[in-house]
Structure 1
Amino acid sequence: FVTNPKIFAEGIEKGIANSILIKLNQIGTLTETLKAIDMAYQAGYTAVVSHRSGETEDSTIADLAVATSATQIKTGSLCRSDRIAKYNQLLRIEDQLGASAKYAGKSAFDLLGIL
């Protein structure tokens, strides 16, 4: 589906998945991205926030993942500065949230009913 609400709606209707891959810069606007994430949650799907290949050090997807309670973030291994920037932002967010920060752990998969 990759953040395309029209195709995603068709997939939900046919029941062909349980998650959507969210690529912030693929759909067009932040509003459309947030609508796609909300659509996923309303349908009982999870959202995986992802960057695109050829990514920069912009860490906005880390903020988006936390702000929308996405179950996962897909940004690759800790091997390049563009990826490390996103993990560093997640650590900063955790530090700012303090005790209210929550790591989902295995419960991230409860919605999917696979564990």
Structure 2
Amino acid sequence: MDTAASELCHEGKYDLDFKSPPGSQVTGPYWCTLVHPGGCFPTMVSVEDPFDQDDRDGWKQFLTQADIQVVDNDLTATNPKLIARAAKLQARSCLLLKVNQIRLVTKSIRARLAQSYSWGVMVSHRSGETEDTFISDLVVGLCAGQVSPSIPC
């Protein structure tokens, strides 16, 4: 499940009803109870971007309590420097690797360094992608083990 929490976070609070001002804002710790397995989604096995990329406390709290795969997209944006920073925070368990975020295949291959931190790697691309099979080749070539394909609407 992709929570896209960065889209909900404003001034350090998560707005659960952002389309209806003034909304329903909750703190990071309360948000953690909502997205935590056993909370609102008891059968969840994988969650993407459960917290805003700047909510380091939220990431740390969640990771100490969650025993599911935590997929990180916004926190690192497939950038090797940001991956190394996230590794120091221990704010992940799986990297979402998107070639379009880093723009070069060679840089995407360098982003594979996430595996050296014992992270999983899930290769993806932006929605609306063509029927090009390159994404499958990249998954196999990087031994990624996981893919998040786009599907036509």
Tell me which interval the TM-score lies in, with the shorter structure as reference length. Answer: 0.5 to 0.7
The correspondence for 1:17, drawn from 71, 80, 92, is 92
Q: Does 1:27 align with 2:27?
A: no
Which digits, 9 at most, give the CA deviation of each residue in 1:50-105, with x for residues without a partner? 0102311222110000111112000145xx39xxxxxxxxxxxxxxxxxxxxxxxx
Structure 1 or 2, whichever has the larger Rg, is: 2
Distance 1:40 1:7 in 2: 10
Amino acid at match of 1:52: R
Please tell me whether the aligned partners of residues 98 and 123 of structure 2 are also in contact (alpha carbons under 8 angstroms): yes
Matches within 5 A, 1:43-58: 43-58=117-132
Residues 65, 73 of structure 1: 8 Å contact kept:
yes
How far apart in 2 are the matches of 1:71 and 1:55? 20
* Structure 2 equivalent of residue 88 of structure 1: none
CA RMSD of the aligned region, Å? 1.7
Task: Map 1:57-68 onto structure 2 (within 5 A).
Answer: 57-68=131-142
Q: CA deviation at 1:48?
A: 0.2
Residue 44 of structure 2 aligns with which residue?
A: none
| Distance (Å, rounded) in 1 between the aligned partners of 2:142 and 2:104 | 15
Pick 1 or 2: higher relative contact order, CA cutoff 8 A, min separation 6. 1
Distance apart, 1:31 and its partner CA = 1.0
Q: Matched residues, percent identical? A: 37
Matched residue SS, 2:87: helix
- 2:102 maps to a residue whose letter is I
- CA offset at residue 22 of structure 1? 0.5
Task: Give the 3 Å change call, closer, same or farther, for CA 25–44 of structure 1 in structure 2.
Answer: same
Scaled by the length of structure 1, the TM-score of the pair is 0.62
* 1:2 and 2:77 aligned: yes
Say if 1:20 and 1:45, in contact at 8 Å, map to a contact too.
Answer: yes
The gaps in structure 1 that reach 5 residues or longer are 82-115
Change (3 A) 1:25 1:76: closer
More strand by share: 2
| Corresponding residue SS for 1:55 | coil
